[in-house]
Structure 1
Amino acid sequence: MKFTINNNLRLLTCPLLLAGAVCCSSGNDGDTPAPGPGPDPSPVTGDVLAYVTSADGNRLFTEEGLDYSKVSMSPYRVTIDPSTTYQTVDGFGPAITGATCYNLLQMSQADRTAILRKCFDPETGAGFSFIRVHIGGSDFSMDEYTCCDREGIEFFAIPAVEKDGIFPVLKEILEINPEIRIMGSPWSCPKWMKGTVADPSKPYDSWTGGRLNPAYYDDYAEYFVQWVTEMEENGFPIYAITMQNEPLNKGNSMSLYMPWEDQLAFVKKLGPAFRKAGIDTKILCYDHNYNYDNVAGQQNYPLNIYADADAAQWVDGSAWHNYGGSVSELDNIRAAAPDKTIYFTEASIGTWNYNFESCVIDDFESIFLGTLSRYGKGVLLWNLMLDDKGAPNRPGGCTTCYGAIEISSSDYKTLKYNSHYYDLAQCAKVIRPGAVRIGASGYTASGLTYLAFRNPDGSKAFVALNRSAGEQTVAVYENADRSFKYTIPAKSIASFRWGAGAEN
């Protein structure tokens, strides 16, 4: 089946996985390639959609059309096995924070719609399919707040700062891609629900740190119920929530210390509250680093919750960040709890670590292939858009972070695409929501890693990373009639989609 690739994309431009680094190498942002080439009026045709991003910037989500070819005897053959199945994938995408929305809303309507289509449209854009939002404020909101800052859960209401500053962007995203899945995470409970870390029953009046007072577990469960309900009444279906962003981090501008003992007790209130309200939103635990921030007694955080049957029945799975430790920790979690889901929910780039060449490759290997090869169901990164000053941001939060896309604060028009944009695009474009990871085996080479998927429309996807200094050839074999060969450039990501539905 021949297809035509939509060149609007040009505006934006193995199981051999090692544990790998959990963040990209140190460097500066001077190495960031410019955005990809302009639109090509001549359509690209072929049997296979191919997208390539190279660390040297020579190819940035570059589109190619390939024809099927005979590869059955190739020494580079990788056989796709749809009969061997693993996890179902929910999707890939960025955090849509107050800061992201502020920058988007400074753009002209035409420019904003164009960039959102480039990111979220599954046909003409990259097809981002999963987003994360903060429940109440965060270190990238426009203020510190929750949805119930007046004492008494009866005063719950999503504030105007979100209805005016976030809802318009969410509505436009959902108009572009109605199948977007949304995950919500709180950075803090209302301050009137907080106690000190040492004594949660003792009032604690600060956005930073503190601990949820058990006397307010019922109220806080109702807080989640009302948030999900109000979001859905406004047209934003909530696919999943985590109970606390970075529960072992007491020092963020908005934060709440929530050790596993607290989450275990709280979910026994939250789960029944969701069921009583008829809410089927998934509940995820943890939402923090692979190394548990080296906090004494917090190792195996999710497993401690799963060990309690009453708590475990309400928890769909766990969520992970990569600011400490190794992705190999997911092997431990998967082995101990194969029935529980795994999501990667946050990674950042910024002045402390950013170098396009190393970030685009290392993060793709560790975060994307590393998570997916360990039964992960989705990858979310932090944030979609910040300006050239890393703003807006909150005092005490991250003031040195970069967005996946950077916008100029001088004109709110000029854009620069960072490594996280390309990493997300390379997966989201070919692996559609509901895809199932399938078998892929055969040719191996140093620096080459790959995974394969079957999409709901019957098309197949193959994502490969060549981190070596030389090019690598792969011959992808599904059957005698659906096979192709491609030479992946040095230090590059290559993604492919073919078969039924691939013309979309």
Structure 2
Amino acid sequence: MSATMLPVCSEVKEDQLAVEVYETAANGHQLQRITECCTADTAGTIRLKTEKTFQTITGFGGSFTQASAYLLNRLSPENRTRILEAYFGESGAKYALTRTHINSCDFSIRNYAYAPVPGDRTLEHFSIDEDRRDLIPMIKDAMAVSQDGFRIIASPWTAPPWMKDNNDWRGGKLIPEYYETWALYFSKYLVAYREAGIPIWGITVENEPLGNDCNWESMHYTPREMNDFVSRHLGPRLRADGHEVKILGYDQNRGEELREWVNTMYGDDAAASYFAGTAVHWYASTYEFFPDNLQYAHAAAPDKHLIQSEACVDAEVPRWQDDQWYWSREATDWGWDWAPEADKYLHPKYVPVYRYARDIIGCLNNWVDGWIDWNMVLDRKGGPNWSRNWCVAPVIVDPENDEIYFTPIYYTLSHFSRYIRPGAQRIDFENTQERLQVTAAKNPDGSLVAVVLNEGETPQGFHLILGEASRRLSIRGQAIQTILISTQN
């Protein structure tokens, strides 16, 4: 029997399912509505099973960095507004979950802290004035554009050097005698941002507590040290000061270290009572999303958040106005050159679009409830960045010429953020089309969404089935589709 003759169950009514299909593809489609399917054999089925649900979605989005905010302020007002609308407006990606940095990070113009005076234990000189020129205006303008609003997670890369045992921005550990001061620092930050009109929904205790080889701002914790800081200092301080903020632990890669951290975090009742969830990054591999470790982290705390808090095409300079590069196997990351020999297989060259789409689908299918990209905007050099740690962002700008480039990564992220809304529940599915990767969700308004990825170069057909209705569909080679399914009779 040929693929085109593959039968659908007899109780299913062929082509009775009403759908809207939006596609981004290497052929040039950019979140384009598709009204006619491409020619492809129907080689399998995707059956949506709404009766079984999984995690509730917190949201998708990107990060407010000083670098991005600085660049926006160098553009014309028209282009600045255009980018904010593209990320947060009703016509754009409708980002709902975001991140920003406490103190400076690598994507800052310079090193800075909100308490620069050494020995200021009571933080009398605490001030967020450094953020008022660029970062705070970007966040507030995004808030004005967003109709539904969005949540912000704030993360420190380091405490001020004078609180650390090496007196440096990079590496080192928090001196125990400053644990209480550092906890107070978080509280003062939350108050200062709230007074600036920006509520913070969540914090991570430390960005990448395992370090970054001292290349830029960092501060190290062991799992037990972080537990001690949270249970004895940070948690009690925030609770006493009336902050209803989510505390997320870990905040680094999804390799085997993740298991050690969740075992420690949730194996300690005192610390577990303060942790609202676990934050993870994707840098352990360019293709592997570590489903077993994500499943393990969920099982360790099934009632808590599991949020992907940072991802980017790292160790690369952006390609300007070159869509095909983002669809080709040309990108590399830090591990291509520097990973230990035993781990090099995890870091081959990769297709940037696939890395994003595959990872988000894999994360959703393994209990992750929020997914956050890194910088929203960078320049043609992959900065600005004081440490010369160049990366790629979904939107690249040339401020000297007041030009904008929306890369294919921007549209890839929009396939999820625009259509799978906060409060959605991931739903079960059966997929016999082995060449396609799939995830699906039910939104709070009852609408159903399926996202399909085809990494192959040839079109693929499939029957989409919901209950007793089905639809014959197809997806181009090298393409992503978001399918909106009508539940109305």
Classify the TM-score, shorter chain.
0.7 to 0.9
For the 8 Å contact 2:30–2:408, the answer to whether it is kept is no
Letter in 1 for 2:415: Q
Q: Which residue of 1 aligns with 2:423?
A: 434
For the 8 Å contact 2:66–2:109, the answer to whether it is kept is yes
Q: Which residue of 2 aligns with 1:356?
A: 326
For the 8 Å contact 2:46–2:433, the answer to whether it is kept is no
Distance in 2, matches of 1:457 and 1:353, equals: 41
Distance in 1, matches of 2:154 and 2:94, equals: 20
Q: 1:219 to 1:364 in 2, by over 3 A?
A: same
For the 8 Å contact 1:361–1:492, the answer to whether it is kept is no
Distance in 2, matches of 1:211 and 1:257, equals: 5
Q: Which residue of 1 aligns with 2:9?
A: none
- The 5 A counterparts of 1:336-347 are 336-347=300-311
Distance in 1, matches of 2:27 and 2:313, equals: 18
Give the counterpart of 2:151 among 168, 181, 186. 181
For the 8 Å contact 1:142–1:161, the answer to whether it is kept is no
Distance in 2, matches of 1:219 and 1:289, equals: 28
Q: 1:237 to 1:47 in 2, by over 3 A?
A: farther
Tell whether 2:102 aligns with 1:102.
no
For the 8 Å contact 1:97–1:134, the answer to whether it is kept is yes
Q: Which residue of 1 aligns with 2:458?
A: 470
Tell whether 2:259 aligns with 1:267.
no
Q: Deviation at 1:484?
A: 3.5
Distance in 1, matches of 2:426 and 2:56, equals: 6
Distance in 1, matches of 2:241 and 2:471, equals: 51
Letter in 2 for 1:330: L
- Secondary structure, counterpart of 1:209 in structure 2: coil
Unaligned runs of 5+ in 2: 1-16, 319-324, 328-350
Tell whether 2:199 aligns with 1:254.
no
Distance in 2, matches of 1:336 and 1:66, equals: 45
Q: Which residue of 2 aligns with 1:226?
A: 188
Distance in 1, matches of 2:377 and 2:69, equals: 8
Tell whether 2:34 aligns with 1:64.
yes
- The 5 A counterparts of 1:101-500 are 101-121=69-89, 123-150=90-117, 151-155=120-124, 157-177=126-146, 178-195=148-165, 204-249=166-211, 250-268=213-231, 269-291=233-255, 300-325=260-285, 326-328=288-290, 329-352=293-316, 355-357=325-327, 358-365=351-358, 367-395=359-387, 397-398=388-389, 400-411=390-401, 413-441=402-430, 443-480=431-468, 483-499=470-486
Q: 1:66 to 1:157 in 2, by over 3 A?
A: farther
Q: Which residue of 1 aligns with 2:60?
A: 92
- Secondary structure, counterpart of 1:133 in structure 2: strand
Distance in 1, matches of 2:127 and 2:134, equals: 12
Q: 1:258 to 1:469 in 2, by over 3 A?
A: same
For the 8 Å contact 1:48–1:496, the answer to whether it is kept is yes
Q: 1:75 to 1:348 in 2, by over 3 A?
A: closer
Distance in 1, matches of 2:214 and 2:409, equals: 25
Letter in 1 for 2:196: N
> TM-score under structure 2 normalisation?
0.83
* Cα deviation code 1:40-61 (max 9, x no counterpart): xxxxxx953322112x242222
Distance in 2, matches of 1:456 and 1:299, equals: 32
Distance in 2, matches of 1:114 and 1:79, equals: 38
* Cα deviation code 1:78-98 (max 9, x no counterpart): 222222110011111111100
Q: 1:194 to 1:464 in 2, by over 3 A?
A: same
Q: Deviation at 1:314?
A: 0.6
Distance in 1, matches of 2:462 and 2:425, equals: 22
Q: 1:103 to 1:256 in 2, by over 3 A?
A: same
Q: Deviation at 1:261?
A: 1.8
* Cα deviation code 1:453-472 (max 9, x no counterpart): 11111211111111223212
Letter in 1 for 2:482: S
Tell whether 2:33 aligns with 1:52.
no
Q: Deviation at 1:424?
A: 1.1
Q: Which residue of 2 aligns with 1:5?
A: none
Distance in 1, matches of 2:204 and 2:82, equals: 31
Q: Deviation at 1:500?
A: 7.4
Distance in 2, matches of 1:419 and 1:383, equals: 15
- Secondary structure, counterpart of 2:384 in structure 1: coil
- Secondary structure, counterpart of 1:497 in structure 2: strand
- Secondary structure, counterpart of 1:316 in structure 2: strand
Letter in 2 for 1:159: I
Q: Deviation at 1:173?
A: 0.5
* Cα deviation code 1:116-141 (max 9, x no counterpart): 111111x3112121111001110011
* Cα deviation code 1:461-504 (max 9, x no counterpart): 111111223212233233456x5332111121111224479xxx
- Secondary structure, counterpart of 1:232 in structure 2: helix
Distance in 1, matches of 2:438 and 2:400, equals: 41
Letter in 1 for 2:73: L
Q: Deviation at 1:419?
A: 4.1
Q: Which residue of 2 aligns with 1:83?
A: 51
Q: Which residue of 2 aligns with 1:31?
A: none
- Secondary structure, counterpart of 2:363 in structure 1: helix
> TM-score under structure 1 normalisation?
0.80
For the 8 Å contact 1:156–1:223, the answer to whether it is kept is no
Distance in 2, matches of 1:86 and 1:299, equals: 21
Letter in 2 for 1:331: Q
Distance in 2, matches of 1:210 and 1:94, equals: 28
Q: Which residue of 2 aligns with 1:26?
A: none
* Cα deviation code 1:167-218 (max 9, x no counterpart): 11111111111521111100101222111xxxxxxxx221111101111111
Unaligned runs of 5+ in 1: 1-45, 68-73, 196-203
Q: 1:47 to 1:230 in 2, by over 3 A?
A: farther
For the 8 Å contact 2:121–2:178, the answer to whether it is kept is no
Letter in 2 for 1:374: N
Q: Deviation at 1:406?
A: 0.7
Distance in 2, matches of 1:384 and 1:272, equals: 34
Mean Cα displacement is larger for which, 148-157 or 245-254? Answer: 148-157
For the 8 Å contact 1:303–1:337, the answer to whether it is kept is no
- Secondary structure, counterpart of 2:64 in structure 1: coil
